Structure 1
Amino acid sequence: MDINANTESPFEMKVSFNRLLEQYEQLKNSSSSHIAEHANKVLNMAQKHAILRDGFSDLDLLETYREEIDMLLQDAFSSLLTTNEIKTAQVPFYNHIFKSSQRFKDILSNAGQNFELKVKNMPTDQTYIIASSIILKACYGYDLNFKRPFFYEIPDANGIMRYYKILYNADFTEIKPKENAVKITESDFNQLLDNFENIELWKEKFPVDSYEFKGFLICNIFDVTDDQSISNIKTALIQENKRQDEVFMKDFHDIFRSLLGLKNIKVGFSIYNEDEETFEQVHGNGIESFLLNKRNSASCKDALCMWSYEKLLKENKYFSVSDVESAFKKAKGRAPHISSMHEQGIKSAIFAPIANEDGLMGILEIVSEVPKVLNSINANKLVDVMPFIVSAVERSKNEEENLIKAIIQKECTSIHDSVHWRFEKEAKNYIKDQLNGDEPVFNKIAFKDVYPLYGQMDIKGSSKARNLATKNDLQLQLEAIKALVKKAKKQRDLPIYEQYIFQINKYIDYLDNNFQVDTERQINSFIREEIEPVLNHVLETNTLKQEVDKYLDLIDKTTNSVYQHRKDFDDTISNINKEMAILLDEKQREAQLMYPHYFERYKTDGVEHNMYIGESITKEDSFNPIYLYNLRLWQLQVMIEMENAYYLMKSQFPVSLDVASMILVFNQPLTISFRMDEKQFDVDGTYNARYEIVKKRVDKAFVKGTKERVTQKGKITIVYSQKEDEREYLRYIKFLQERNYLDNDEEIVELEDLQAVTGLKAIRVSVLYHKDQDDKAFFTYEDLMKEINV
């Protein structure tokens, strides 16, 4: 087999022992007769086989001259060291080994017949450029320092992966330019420096087969399993999203198996919660805690005996259990961690504290189903890896704390993306003042001349529906109690039972005819103070136990009362808010693409939203009133979509409720500032406060001269005060009527004066609905209700 066949390289390769023979030519003049005699013997043999000096590319000749090559390499491969040294002689670039020490042969034999030896880290796709780089140094003196560590990964007889570092000795190689070689100048070298990936350029400077490479490599190989295992642990711990990676823990097990030289081991972790003094599971794919044994958490003192507790938590020192079975018999149930391991079939284990100067952060758990393989001796190997694990846990804790803060900010005190730049700018100024030694102050954050938009989808009659649900639950509970007391009275005719029945009937009458805010409190107090002691007495006397248990099954454990109708109501409100908020958030993301603006929403008995748009929020010289008009039309359309979406899903909710939608128009720009105490934006100035007053009260306002609320189910209500706003929104309504979003029944009404606010008007117009998403027909609210109730 010719090594130059079917390959593209700047080298014409030949296996040659010329440089080695040159060494022997010097040794033949040695003052040591033994060395000189051996050198002459080698040279005489080589003289008979000139091809060994001239070189050859046919690899089959390596076998032909096997005996001669063994004689040439006798000094390099000492018989005395062959079972200790790991050494090979091979053809460069091809990983073709033609001579090796006995120990290397044994390593390959233990790996199994199907094992294929490959060099790790060898960049096969860059071989041509690497060969050219070698030419640059050998022939022109330009050193690109392309050296990289190369390894073999070879499993041992037990299947444990071991790592071997390869050091190449190129003393016996020589490189010479051929006639077609291009002479490399400094200019060429400088050009190549910036074009490592340009293979065509390298081929231009180093044409195929333009240099002759003669010789062979001696490879000295070293077992670096411990060092590489530590490096692999370090690399694995640096990875992002380790917990979500299913492969991570499998690789982690394999790395520790290599480090300890043990096949049947597993690695687990548990986190120490200092505030609650508990061990907790690390949540992630494939991550277990053998200490907790499938429990999510456990008190430290419930998971450990006193000795192991002191060792891990107080002294921050590791300990091992080499024989769990023996320890289990001695402990007699007094050592929880021993019992836990015994239950899991674990036979030996090491527990190592993951601790820094602040104290314990977690536990590294290494376990095996084989007794005595894990012990205090090999536990010492953890000393070198624990610093990396500690650093990784510290980083993970910091990341988790930052993530928790981010979630809290997002879910509880969210700062909208449109204004985040302003907070970031102020935070940078704060840090700069701190570093300069000045007293840092987080200055007021305000945005001037922004236009507000407000909308809400309110649940109509929510207070009445909530009261009705409360009455029904109380009535159900009182009727159940009355039936129970009547049965108790039949068993034992006590006058007190008659009095309880009288009181219960009185409360039921209150519920039917005179339900007030305080009625619920009175009834709950009566049940707690008078009825519950009776039920406890009945249970103690072991009478009517089945009936009492049946009553208790009605009682919700959280509220300690019947919570059926109220749960239906609460679930309905929650689901309405959730679904409407999701729809609004989805639409809002689309609106941000039209023009950036501030947005926030709230869940109450319905969903409210605020928007502010203006130059100061975008920080760009790009604002135009057209963007305000566009956002107003978008808001009106989205409110109509929310109405449709709600009535399509209304029948799915436990309680049938109606909604009413309203938009508040404010004509003048205002200033908003962030209130640190409430973590939200609010308007600035006395005049602008009028806007907030209207927002809070307008949905409860009456049409002037009537007791009719301005908001109505099935209609969109647009509240305003300026004639130009009226004209603008009538244009939008006309546009949406043409597209069958709104009915042709718009009306303009005046509102009763609110506190400090007069002159408000409203446009009301009915929404047209679909029966379902694919339906092309349009219905009024009344039509839709008939369809839904069919």
Structure 2
Amino acid sequence: MDINDSIESPMMLKVGFNKILEHYEKLAESEDEFLSAKAKRVLKTAKPYPELRDGFSDTKILKDREKEISIILQDSFAPVLTRNEIKTASVPFHDLIFNSSERFKNIIKTAGDDFELNIKNMPDDHRYIIACTVILNFCYGYNLNFKRPFYYEIPDVNGVNRFYKITYNADFCEILPTEKAKKITEEDYKLLLDNFENLDIWKEKFPPNSYIFKGFVISNIFDVTEDQSISNIKSNLIGEDKRKDENFMHEFHDVFRSLLGINDLQVGFSIYNEEENVFERVYGVGINSYLLGDAERLECNSSLCKWSYNRLIKENKYFSISDVDGVYEKAKGGFAPQVEVLHKQGFKSAIFAPIANDDGLMGVMEIVSNTPRVLNSINANKLIDIMPFIVSAVERSKKDEENLIEAIIQKECTSIHSSVHWRFAKEAKNYIRDEMEGKDASFKKIAFDNVYPLYGQIDIKGSSEARNSATREDLGLQLKAAKRILRSALDIEAIPIYEQFIYQIDEFQKGLNENFQVDSEQQISSFFKEDIEPLLQHLNSIPELKLDIENYYTSIDDKVNVLYKHRKDYDETIAKINVEMAALLDKKQEEAQQMYPHYFERFKTDGVEHNMYIGESITKEESFNKIYLYNLRLWQLQVMCEMENAYYQMQSDFPVALDVASMVLVFNQPLSISFRMDEKQFDVDGTYNARYEIVKKRVDKAYIKGTTERVTQKGKISIVYSQKQDEIEYLSYIKFLQSKNYLDDDIEIVELQDLQAVTGLKAIRVSVLYHKHEDDKAFYTYDDLMKEIKA
């Protein structure tokens, strides 16, 4: 078989010994008789076989001339060192090895029959290019310094991977150009320097088989498992979000197995929470804690005995348990929780290493094995070299977690929208720069000029009346239950105070039915707390009343300490409406942002409100056109119709059936907004612009001029505006949405009563068309829909 079969290379490979035989020719003339005689013996061995000098590629010759080759290489593979040195003779960029030391042979034998020897970090697609760089060095004198450390990864007798570094001795090889070889010019060299990845260029300058490699290389191999394990640990710990990577802990276990030479080793972690003096589980894919076992968190005092507690937490020093079963037997009846938890999980030996910095303990690394005595206080010292990297990783992880917490707080608790984040980031960079340069750093005002506002709301109609009604029902039920107990008590024991309380309950019930006031709820609640509850505690000792009193307290909500049935249904309904409507609006907003970036914020009240601002200063690019404003206005109107539909489709799922009404406020002039640091939200700037905020806050309560009818109405969308051009614009949107069966054809234009400092407002009102469900092709008015729902 030819060694060049099935490989593509700029060099044709030939095994040859010309260079080493030339070396022996010089030694043959040495004055040292011993060296001279030995050299002559080698030369005499090689002389009958010219192919050993000329070079060959047929592997059969290697077998036939095995004895002669062994004699030629005897000095390079000294028999006295063969059981100690790890050494091979081979040709480059090929897995052919034709001579090796005994130790190398034993290592390969131990690895198993199915083991294939490969250089670990030699990419196949780079072999051709690396061969070209060797030619540049040998034939043209260009030293590209492409020297990378190459490794073998070979399992030992325990199946643990060991790492071997390879260094090459190329003293006995030569590279010769053939007629196919192209002369490499200085320009070619410069071109190649900038095109390492471009294989086509390298093949053009160095065609396949255009050079001949003749000779062999000696590989000196060294066991660097510990160094490589430490390097691998560093590599594993570098990078973001390792805790989400499924392979992270698997690779981490493998690295520690190589470092300590233990095949069944596992690594776990636990966090030390100093404030609460507890160990907590690290959350991540495949990360376990063998100190906590099944628990999520445990007090340190109940996880460790006194000695190990002081050792880990106070002294920040490791400790080992080499024979878990032995210590467990001795400690029976004693307090050694760390031994008990290991024994319960079936581990036989363990090392607990503190992850600590100058500020104290941050966590514990737990190394465990199912084999007794393989983990002990002696090999625990191997951790000294790797713990600084573990500590650095944990410090970085803690910092990342703090940053993540801050980011979540920013996201959930402030209103810095993604569309304006760039402006905050810019100011933050300026702040950092000033601080670094020793200047008086301050966070400058964030403002956006000439932006167009859009406002909309889907409001729950009659929410105050609904809550008052729920409150009356709850208080009425509670008064009725208390009255029943007092009547029974009066039958048992005729005491005037019971009659007085019954009279007071009758008065409260009368007030609830005839004239429910804002303070009625507070008065009745005080009556229950100060008068009825102390009385019920007294009456509870009467056997005949015990069951009624028990039933009474069963109806009382523990959290609010009152009967909270109808009010709970109301509160849950409001909460569910807000959650569902906000979720739908947020989802729709993602689509709108794709059309053109703009600022968006929403608020949950008795319903959901939203603000939007669009303009050049927000997008940062000179791309704004009023067409994007018109598009957003149409989008807003359409989404309000969709939210109305979505609400009534899910209304039956809510504890209380409430109605909603939608409104859009149109403001034709651009305005300025700025971020108020104290309130963590944007507000309009300037006196004129403040008019917009006044209208926003009051318009939904405005009446139609000359009537007591509110502008917002269930089943309709109200579009409030002040300019004739707004009216024309929105009537065109309505016409379009009517064609798509979003809106009915009952358009009405009304004038609004003057608000404080705001006059001349008008509104377009139009009915929404509804569908019973998403796939329903039919459409209904509000009244039709209610009839369908009730049918």
Backbone CA RMSD of aligned residues = 2.9
Write the distance in 1 (CA, Å) between the matches of 2:102 and 2:538.
Answer: 89
Inter-CA distance 744–267: structure 2 relative to 1 (3 Å threshold): same
Residues 494-526 of structure 1: CA distance to partner in whole angstroms, max 9, x if unpaired? 998888777767666655555444444455455
Write the distance in 2 (CA, Å) between the matches of 1:84 and 1:704.
Answer: 104
Q: Once the 2 structures are TM-superposed, how far is the Cα of residue 581 of structure 1 from its aligned partner?
A: 1.7
Write the distance in 2 (CA, Å) between the matches of 1:240 and 1:300.
Answer: 30
Paired position in structure 2 for 1:447: 448
Residues 657-692 of structure 1: CA distance to partner in whole angstroms, max 9, x if unpaired? 110001112233322221110011112222322221
Write the distance in 1 (CA, Å) between the matches of 2:29 and 2:551.
Answer: 110
Q: Once the 2 structures are TM-superposed, how far is the Cα of residue 416 of structure 1 from its aligned partner?
A: 1.8
Where do 5+ consecutive residues of structure 1 fail to align? none
Residues 49-72 of structure 1: CA distance to partner in whole angstroms, max 9, x if unpaired? 332222221112222222222222
1:134-173 alignment runs, 5 A limit: 134-173=134-173
Inter-CA distance 84–475: structure 2 relative to 1 (3 Å threshold): farther
Decide whether the 8 Å contact of 1:639 with 1:661 is kept in 2: yes
TM-score (norm 1): 0.93
Q: Once the 2 structures are TM-superposed, how far is the Cα of residue 181 of structure 1 from its aligned partner?
A: 2.3
Decide whether the 8 Å contact of 1:28 with 1:36 is kept in 2: yes
Write the distance in 2 (CA, Å) between the matches of 1:648 and 1:91.
Answer: 77
Paired position in structure 1 for 2:223: 223
Paired position in structure 2 for 1:14: 14
Amino acid at match of 2:349: S
Paired position in structure 1 for 2:410: 409
1:655-694 alignment runs, 5 A limit: 655-694=656-695
Inter-CA distance 508–302: structure 2 relative to 1 (3 Å threshold): farther
Paired position in structure 1 for 2:238: 238
Write the distance in 1 (CA, Å) between the matches of 2:474 and 2:344.
Answer: 48
Decide whether the 8 Å contact of 1:475 with 1:511 is kept in 2: yes
Amino acid at match of 2:14: K
The answer to whether 1:104 aligns with 2:104 is yes
Paired position in structure 2 for 1:708: 709
The answer to whether 1:460 aligns with 2:480 is no
Write the distance in 1 (CA, Å) between the matches of 2:414 and 2:60.
Answer: 76
Inter-CA distance 97–582: structure 2 relative to 1 (3 Å threshold): same
Write the distance in 2 (CA, Å) between the matches of 1:350 and 1:669.
Answer: 68
Inter-CA distance 751–81: structure 2 relative to 1 (3 Å threshold): same
* 170-179 or 719-728: bigger deviation: 719-728
Amino acid at match of 1:389: I
Paired position in structure 1 for 2:60: 60
Write the distance in 2 (CA, Å) between the matches of 1:264 and 1:199.
Answer: 44
Paired position in structure 2 for 1:194: 194
Q: Once the 2 structures are TM-superposed, how far is the Cα of residue 345 of structure 1 from its aligned partner?
A: 2.5
Q: Once the 2 structures are TM-superposed, how far is the Cα of residue 11 of structure 1 from its aligned partner?
A: 1.8
Q: Once the 2 structures are TM-superposed, how far is the Cα of residue 233 of structure 1 from its aligned partner?
A: 0.8
Residues 630-669 of structure 1: CA distance to partner in whole angstroms, max 9, x if unpaired? 3222222221121112112222222211100011122333
**What SS does structure 1 have at the residue aligned with 2:442?**
coil
Amino acid at match of 2:711: V
Amino acid at match of 2:447: A
Write the distance in 2 (CA, Å) between the matches of 1:764 and 1:161.
Answer: 77
Paired position in structure 2 for 1:345: 346
* 255-264 or 610-619: bigger deviation: 610-619
Paired position in structure 2 for 1:637: 638
Residues 409-464 of structure 1: CA distance to partner in whole angstroms, max 9, x if unpaired? 11111312332233233223323332333222222222233222211000112222
**What SS does structure 2 have at the residue aligned with 1:246?**
coil
Paired position in structure 1 for 2:300: 300
Inter-CA distance 132–447: structure 2 relative to 1 (3 Å threshold): closer
**What SS does structure 2 have at the residue aligned with 1:80?**
helix
* 702-711 or 539-548: bigger deviation: 539-548
Q: Once the 2 structures are TM-superposed, how far is the Cα of residue 488 of structure 1 from its aligned partner?
A: 8.7
Inter-CA distance 687–104: structure 2 relative to 1 (3 Å threshold): same
Decide whether the 8 Å contact of 1:304 with 1:335 is kept in 2: yes
Write the distance in 2 (CA, Å) between the matches of 1:324 and 1:490.
Answer: 73
Paired position in structure 1 for 2:760: 759
Write the distance in 2 (CA, Å) between the matches of 1:539 and 1:249.
Answer: 61
Q: Once the 2 structures are TM-superposed, how far is the Cα of residue 230 of structure 1 from its aligned partner?
A: 0.8
Inter-CA distance 498–303: structure 2 relative to 1 (3 Å threshold): farther
Write the distance in 1 (CA, Å) between the matches of 2:466 and 2:749.
Answer: 30
* 256-265 or 303-312: bigger deviation: 303-312
Q: Once the 2 structures are TM-superposed, how far is the Cα of residue 712 of structure 1 from its aligned partner?
A: 0.6
Q: Once the 2 structures are TM-superposed, how far is the Cα of residue 124 of structure 1 from its aligned partner?
A: 1.6
**What SS does structure 1 have at the residue aligned with 2:582?**
helix
Amino acid at match of 2:54: D
Paired position in structure 1 for 2:285: 285
Q: Once the 2 structures are TM-superposed, how far is the Cα of residue 492 of structure 1 from its aligned partner?
A: 9.6
Write the distance in 1 (CA, Å) between the matches of 2:486 and 2:721.
Answer: 59
Aligned residues: 790
Inter-CA distance 145–682: structure 2 relative to 1 (3 Å threshold): same
The answer to whether 1:436 aligns with 2:437 is yes
Residues 695-747 of structure 1: CA distance to partner in whole angstroms, max 9, x if unpaired? 11211222233322221100001122333333332333233333322212122
Write the distance in 1 (CA, Å) between the matches of 2:429 and 2:639.
Answer: 38
Residues 725-775 of structure 1: CA distance to partner in whole angstroms, max 9, x if unpaired? 333323332333333222121222232332333332222111111222222
Amino acid at match of 1:208: P
Decide whether the 8 Å contact of 1:770 with 1:779 is kept in 2: yes
Decide whether the 8 Å contact of 1:12 with 1:213 is kept in 2: yes
**What SS does structure 1 have at the residue aligned with 2:368?**
strand
Inter-CA distance 782–109: structure 2 relative to 1 (3 Å threshold): same
Q: Once the 2 structures are TM-superposed, how far is the Cα of residue 781 of structure 1 from its aligned partner?
A: 0.3
Amino acid at match of 1:608: E
**What SS does structure 2 have at the residue aligned with 1:667?**
coil
TM-score (norm 2): 0.93
The answer to whether 1:273 aligns with 2:277 is no
The answer to whether 1:72 aligns with 2:77 is no
Decide whether the 8 Å contact of 1:742 with 1:766 is kept in 2: yes
Q: Once the 2 structures are TM-superposed, how far is the Cα of residue 533 of structure 1 from its aligned partner?
A: 6.1
Q: Once the 2 structures are TM-superposed, how far is the Cα of residue 343 of structure 1 from its aligned partner?
A: 2.8
Q: Once the 2 structures are TM-superposed, how far is the Cα of residue 362 of structure 1 from its aligned partner?
A: 1.7
Write the distance in 2 (CA, Å) between the matches of 1:94 and 1:572.
Answer: 74
Q: Once the 2 structures are TM-superposed, how far is the Cα of residue 602 of structure 1 from its aligned partner?
A: 0.8
Paired position in structure 2 for 1:727: 728
**What SS does structure 2 have at the residue aligned with 1:279?**
strand
**What SS does structure 2 have at the residue aligned with 1:466?**
helix
Decide whether the 8 Å contact of 1:91 with 1:217 is kept in 2: yes
Amino acid at match of 1:570: D
Decide whether the 8 Å contact of 1:333 with 1:339 is kept in 2: no
Paired position in structure 2 for 1:769: 770
Q: Once the 2 structures are TM-superposed, how far is the Cα of residue 477 of structure 1 from its aligned partner?
A: 5.2
Q: Once the 2 structures are TM-superposed, how far is the Cα of residue 279 of structure 1 from its aligned partner?
A: 2.2
Write the distance in 1 (CA, Å) between the matches of 2:573 and 2:212.
Answer: 84
Q: Once the 2 structures are TM-superposed, how far is the Cα of residue 784 of structure 1 from its aligned partner?
A: 0.8
Percent identical: 67
Amino acid at match of 1:234: K
Write the distance in 2 (CA, Å) between the matches of 1:113 and 1:545.
Answer: 84
Paired position in structure 2 for 1:36: 36
* 629-638 or 229-238: bigger deviation: 629-638
Write the distance in 1 (CA, Å) between the matches of 2:718 and 2:548.
Answer: 53
1:374-385 alignment runs, 5 A limit: 374-385=375-386
Decide whether the 8 Å contact of 1:293 with 1:344 is kept in 2: yes
Paired position in structure 1 for 2:428: 427
Write the distance in 2 (CA, Å) between the matches of 1:560 and 1:602.
Answer: 30
Write the distance in 1 (CA, Å) between the matches of 2:424 and 2:448.
Answer: 12
Paired position in structure 2 for 1:180: 180
* 569-578 or 280-289: bigger deviation: 569-578
The answer to whether 1:566 aligns with 2:570 is no
Q: Once the 2 structures are TM-superposed, how far is the Cα of residue 396 of structure 1 from its aligned partner?
A: 1.6
Where do 5+ consecutive residues of structure 2 fail to align? none
**What SS does structure 1 have at the residue aligned with 2:270?**
strand
Write the distance in 2 (CA, Å) between the matches of 1:397 and 1:465.
Answer: 49
Paired position in structure 2 for 1:587: 588
Amino acid at match of 1:379: A
Inter-CA distance 130–513: structure 2 relative to 1 (3 Å threshold): same
